[in-house]
Amino acid sequence: MLARGLQAVSDIVWPRTCLVCQRELPAKHAKWCVCPGCNAELHKEAGPSCPRCTSNIGPHVNAERGCPSCQNEKFAFTTATRLGRYEGSLRDAILMAKSVSHESLAQALGRIYASTRRGELLKSQPQVVVPVPLYSWKRWQRGYNQAEAIAQGLAKELELPLYCWALFKVRPTYTQTAMTPTERRSNLNDAFRANRLSRLLGLRVLLIDDVLTTGSTAHAAAKALIAQGVAQVHVAVLAHR
C-alpha cells in the first residue's frame, strides 16, 4: 500500500512520459513505457518479409527458400524475423535506443516485439535467447549494449532464459554502412566466439539484434554459436534496413 501511495505521488509530481514521443503516459500503459499511439506505430508491419533475411517482399513471392536478395547467400542461421521496416517511429526508436540514456526504451521495444509477434518468435521453439554482443571497447564507449537490453525485454515477455554472456565479440570491426556484402563478410570473419561455459550444446537459440541489413553480422554470430554445438540459430531483429 505504501509503495502504491508513493508511486501515485511520484506520478503527480513527475508524470510518466512516453519514451518515444515524450507525451504524458496513461498510468495503465506504464508497463510498456510507450503510449498507445506510439505502441501501435512501432509494431505496424508494412508488408510481408522474407523468412530467411527479413527483406521486403511482394505479397505473392514464394520466399520459402529465400527471396531474390538472399537466395544465393549461405547463412549460418536458419530463419530470420523482424518487428517491422526501418522507417517512421520504429526507426526513430531504434536510433534513440542506441544511447544508454534510453536503455529502458530498448527493453520496452523487446517487450512490445515479444507481445505482438509471440507466435512468430516461438515458431522455431527456441530454448534460450542470446543478444548479439558489442566489442568490449565499443560497449564501454556506448555505456551498454542495446541488443542486450532488447533481448532482456523480449526474453522476459516470452519467459525464456537469457544468456547474455553466451557470445563475445573478440575483435573490433569497421563501420559497415558503406561496405558491400562481400566486404561486410570479410570485416566480420571470426569476430565472434561462443562461450564454452554457456552449455549451449544441442540448444535452439533465438539471436537478437536491433537491425539486419545484409545478414553479415547475424551470420558471423550464428556461425560462432553453431561451432560451439548449438543445434539451430533463429534471428529476431527489430527492423530490416
Q: How far apart are CA 233 and CA 203, in angstroms?
A: 9
Greatest alpha-carbon pair distance for the chain in Å reads: 61
Mean pLDDT of the chain: 89
* Each residue's pLDDT tens digit, 212-230: 999 999 999 999 999 999 9
What average pLDDT score do residues 79-105 get?
93
List residues bridging with 70 in a β-sheet: none
For the chain, the domains span 46-240
Query: 75, 222 in Cβ contact below 8 A?
Result: yes
What average pLDDT score do residues 79-106 get?
94
DSSP, residue by residue, 86-120 = SSHHHHHHHHHTTSGGGHHHHHHHHHHHHHHSHHH
Q: How confident is the model at residue 11 (pLDDT cuts 50, 70, 90)?
A: very low
DSSP, residue by residue, 145-205 = -HHHHHHHHHHHHHT--B-TTSEEE-S-----TT--HHHHHHHHTT-EEE-GGG--TT-EE
Q: Tell me, what's the pLDDT at 30?
A: 73
- Which one is the CATH code of 46-240: 3.40.309.10, 3.30.70.330, 1.10.274.10, 3.40.50.2020? 3.40.50.2020
Q: What is the pTM of this model?
A: 0.90
pLDDT at 1 over 70: no
Q: Tell me, what's the pLDDT at 119?
A: 96
Q: Tell me, what's the pLDDT at 26?
A: 80
